[in-house]
């Protein structure tokens, strides 16, 4: 069964395995691996599946808390939210497939993340999509954006799970290499929680769902571990992109949840990256078992598929269930009723070996210890070093540039409504606060009865490549803090974080430095907010023509609103209200580093980030969450991208009400992005007591102006009608993407 060494040398390199990795495989097996075994190791030891470049750093993240039921390492993180209810949450990337086939790349990203949720026993109730594309003036970037948005809406709407929020960013750094991250959340009774483990000698491995095809072969090795070049429209990589079927996914979802409700499954695993190889080896390894796999039993849709194709295909809408023999007939009956194909492809053994057979009594095609594919994957401590020009970059003055505050403000406005209007965000009627606000808020219903609990779940996804390019550690701290502030704005208190770490080539020392610094920043912030990391994803080799993307750690945060009595105030203001700026105020010369103004108008990508007090941010988040729960304010809005100028403009646009704000003397005051701040609106009669309470709670508060009139007046530097602001904001995306205008 061994491959000749000279042949193996050629094959393993073609499969993306290094010479050192091949030698490790040889040592583990005590012989040369054959072609099938090499293919299995290549996908399982890929960057996507093994995290070989990042796991040494990921170990520094906080992952435990009394409410964490399942942390990193399973299909999704799970937290206990009380009353016998648990919540599963996961975030993933589908960056490289979306660069090749935008619609299918995004669609299968949604499908994969949903399977991660219901494989834990949870019914998915929400999707969020943080999206990042190249500049709007680039035709290919627009084509990718349109395809991705259609893919998210086409799959999510069809499978019946609402897309309730996300982000959309356009920047030169993502030209040729978009970031398509997807978060999903589901709810389950605690007793229905099932893990992806194979146990019980003699139990059966049942493949459920779609037939296996040649789509997606090599996805984790061909796409996820390679950058792109200018020719990468990359037609040669298209076969590595999976093809999704949301209607098959819906049937599979319902069938799996019914199997779990009846207690017919002892373990279950989604088939994502590395396909059957991953599902069989990981379940066996986690369960301390082995498995015999009959490759001839795999239901396929293409003739003449080779063993390595069947074992590594990433065809979508498939699950692997571990079933006791006595329950097989009932499993097959339920699968048939949901029109889901089901095949017994494996048997759990006690010897720890993963054997691939042509018939259970037939030829042994591959044999290797299951744990070696999973637990013995390489772990690299790659060289890291800050960029050589770091000091030079930090010495730049990011506030320099042409200044026309009114024109600049109009340029920075970009309403994402055109995007989220294509998503169904009211499915299940759980959505209390949907797209267009700081955070999302969903009613928490008992998954057993459907009854409302009186509580709600807050969700937000956040990332900021500009901050993290300037300072990856502090930038990531600020990203986590902004995510926490966003859910505070809908009254939720942080409980847990998931992350999607999008970086360039890990073989570049500066990229590894960025990743290490970002992990340390995330660790610091998550500890401060007492919100452990319960899962995540690392996407590396995001580069085009050997130019790495700006570091883009994206976080998803989940929190609890303990008593949902009224609709949270949102960002809409009435006439005659006082405006108060809460949170840490910039001192001295205000830094513009990392701001949208500096990048998009001033043209500076350096400088030093504004000072950030994490302890102060924690206090402000707690205070904001409390006042929203108590309906103490008429409106609340996080100050994020674009600074207070954009925040106030967004409030005016959504309210169709003007504002008169003082104390904004120049573009630095208007557009700086000092973190940990929110604008609240409240009645004049409550102003004095509110300012006193803020001071007593250690939260800086400053009266800045009042609402009313037809225009947004910001000191002496901006005087724009609400109508002009609205037109600029809402027309930006539709015009750029060739859809005309939506203002009227």
Catalytic residue list: 48, 94
Beta strands at 342-349 and 204-209: parallel, antiparallel or unpaired: antiparallel
Scanning 262-342, the segments in alpha helix (DSSP H) are 275-286, 307-312, 328-337
Place of tokens 């000698």: 201
The string of DSSP letters for 67-113 reads TEEE-BTBSSEEEEEETTEEEEEEEEE-HHHHHHSHHHHHHHHHHHH
Helix (H) and strand (E) counts for the chain?
25, 28
| Tokens matching residue 243 | 């093809």
DSSP 562: S
Beta-bridge partner residues of 578? 682, 706
Q: What tokens does 190 get?
A: 């605690």
Q: What is the DSSP letter of 568?
A: -
Residue 101 tokens read as 């086939």
The CA distance from 593 to 672, in Å, is: 8
Structure tokens given for 443: 């009613």
178, 448 in Cβ contact below 8 A? no
Whether 737 contacts 422, CB under 8 Å: no
Please count the residues of the chain. Answer: 744
Q: Quick one: which of 523, 601, 633, 659 has its CA closest to 61?
A: 523
Residue 542: both structure tokens together? 């995001």
Distances from the Cα of 484 to the Cα of 265, 462, 581, 720, angstroms: 37, 9, 17, 32
Contact by Cβ (8 Å): 100, 223:
yes
Cβ(499)–Cβ(93) below 8 Å: no
Residue 190, classed as helix, strand or coil, is: helix
Residues 599, 602, 605: CA angle, nearest 5 degrees: 40
Q: Would you put residue 180 in left (φ > 0), alpha (ψ -120 to 50) or beta? A: beta
Question: At a CB cut-off of 8 Å and minimum separation 6, what does 536 contact?
Answer: 58, 72, 91, 498, 499, 500, 501
In angstroms, the first-to-last Cα distance of the chain is 71
Bridge partners of 353?
A: 369
Mention every residue, 6+ apart, whose C-beta is less than 8 A from residue 303.
none
Q: Which residues is 638 bridged to in the sheet? A: 678
The H or E element spanning position 582 is: strand 578-583
| Rg of the chain taking only CA atoms, in angstroms | 26
308 burial type by CB count under 10 A (0-12 exposed, 13-18 middle, 19+ buried): buried
Cα gap 323→291, rounded to integer Å: 13
Distances (CA, A) of 341 to 3, 55, 344, 526: 35, 36, 10, 43
- Between CA 294 and CA 41 the distance in angstroms is 19
DSSP secondary structure letters along 681-696? EE-HHHHHHHHHHHHH
243's CB contacts (< 8 A; 6+ apart) are: 104, 108, 213, 215, 216, 315, 316
Q: How many CB atoms lie within 10 A of CB 559?
A: 29
The distance of Cα 241 from the centroid of its chain, to the nearest Å, equals 19
Task: Name the one residue in this structure whose structure tokens are 């120049």.
Answer: 666
List for the chain the helix, strand, coil content (%; round to 5): 40, 25, 35
389 phi/psi in degrees, rounded to 5: -100, 20
């Amino acid at each position: 069964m061994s491959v000749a060494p000279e042949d193996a040398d050629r094959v393993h390199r073609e499969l993306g395995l290094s010479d050192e990795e091949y030698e490790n495989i040889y040592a583990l097996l005590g012989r040369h691996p054959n072609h099938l075994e090499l293919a299995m190791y290549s996908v399982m030891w890929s960057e996507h599946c093994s995290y070989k470049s990042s796991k040494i750093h990921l170990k520094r993240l906080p992952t435990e808390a009394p409410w964490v039921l399942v942390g990193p390492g399973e299909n999704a993180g799970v937290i206990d939210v009380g009353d016998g209810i648990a919540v599963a949450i996961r975030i993933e990337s589908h960056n490289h497939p979306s660069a090749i086939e935008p619609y299918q790349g995004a669609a299968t990203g949604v499908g994969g993340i949903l399977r991660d949720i219901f494989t834990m026993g949870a019914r998915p109730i929400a999707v969020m999509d943080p999206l990042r594309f190249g500049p709007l003036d680039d035709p290919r970037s627009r084509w990718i954006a349109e395809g991705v948005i259609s893919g998210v809406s086409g799959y999510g709407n069809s499978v019946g799970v609402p897309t309730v929020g996300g982000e959309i960013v356009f920047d030169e750094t993502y030209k040729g290499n978009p970031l398509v991250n997807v978060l999903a959340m589901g709810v389950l009774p605690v007793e229905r929680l099932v893990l992806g483990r194979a146990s019980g000698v003699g139990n059966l491995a049942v493949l459920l769902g779609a037939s296996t095809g040649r789509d997606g072969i090599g996805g984790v090795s061909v796409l996820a571990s390679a950058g792109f070049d200018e020719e990468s429209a990359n037609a040669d990589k298209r076969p590595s992109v999976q093809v999704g079927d949301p209607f098959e996914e819906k049937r599979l979802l319902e069938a799996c949840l019914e199997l779990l409700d009846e207690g017919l499954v002892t373990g279950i695993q989604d088939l994502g990256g590395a396909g059957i190889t991953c599902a069989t080896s990981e379940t066996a390894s986690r369960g301390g078992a082995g498995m015999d796999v009959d490759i001839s039993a795999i239901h396929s849709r293409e003739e003449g598929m080779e063993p390595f194709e069947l074992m590594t295909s990433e065809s979508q809408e498939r699950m692997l269930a571990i079933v006791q023999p006595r329950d097989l007939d009932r499993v097959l009956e339920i699968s048939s009723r949901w029109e889901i194909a089901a095949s017994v492809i494996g048997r759990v053994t006690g010897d720890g070996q993963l054997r691939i057979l042509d018939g259970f009594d037939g030829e042994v095609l591959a044999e290797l210890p299951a744990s070696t594919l999973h637990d013995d994957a390489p772990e690299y401590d790659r060289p890291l070093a800050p960029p050589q020009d770091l000091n030079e970059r930090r010495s730049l003055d990011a506030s320099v540039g042409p200044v026309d505050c009114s024109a600049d403000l109009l340029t920075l406005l970009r309403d994402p409504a055109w995007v989220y209007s294509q998503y169904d965000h009211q499915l299940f009627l759980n959505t209390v606060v949907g797209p267009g606000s700081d955070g999302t808020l969903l009613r928490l219903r008992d998954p057993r009865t459907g009854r409302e609990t009186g509580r709600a779940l807050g969700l937000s996804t956040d990332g900021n490549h500009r901050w993290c390019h300037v300072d990856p550690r502090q930038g990531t701290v600020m990203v986590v803090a902004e995510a926490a502030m966003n859910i505070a704005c809908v009254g939720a208190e942080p409980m847990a974080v998931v992350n999607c770490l999008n970086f360039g080539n890990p073989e570049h020392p500066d990229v590894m430095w960025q990743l290490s610094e970002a992990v340390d920043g995330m660790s610091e912030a998550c500890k401060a907010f007492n919100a452990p990391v319960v899962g995540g994803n690392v996407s590396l080799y995001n580069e085009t023509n050997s130019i790495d993307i700006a570091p883009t750690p994206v976080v998803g945060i989940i929190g609890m609103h303990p008593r949902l009595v009224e609709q949270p105030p949102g960002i809409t203001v009435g006439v005659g209200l006082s405006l108060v700026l809460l949170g840490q105020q910039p001192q001295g010369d205000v830094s513009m580093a990392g701001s949208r103004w500096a990048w998009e108008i001033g043209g500076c990508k350096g400088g030093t980030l504004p000072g950030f007090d994490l302890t102060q941010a924690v206090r402000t988040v707690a205070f904001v969450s409390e006042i929203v729960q108590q309906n103490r304010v008429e409106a609340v809005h996080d100050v994020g991208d674009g600074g207070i100028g954009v925040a106030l403009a967004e409030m005016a646009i959504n309210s169709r009400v003007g504002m008169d704000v003082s104390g904004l003397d120049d573009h630095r005051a208007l557009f700086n992005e000092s973190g940990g701040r929110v604008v609240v609106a409240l009645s004049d009669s409550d102003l004095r007591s509110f300012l006193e309470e803020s001071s007593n709670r250690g939260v800086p508060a400053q009266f800045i102006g009042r609402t009313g009139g037809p225009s947004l007046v910001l000191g002496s530097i901006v005087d724009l009608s609400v109508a002009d602001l609205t037109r600029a904001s809402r027309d930006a995306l539709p015009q750029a993407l060739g859809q005309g205008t939506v203002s009227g």
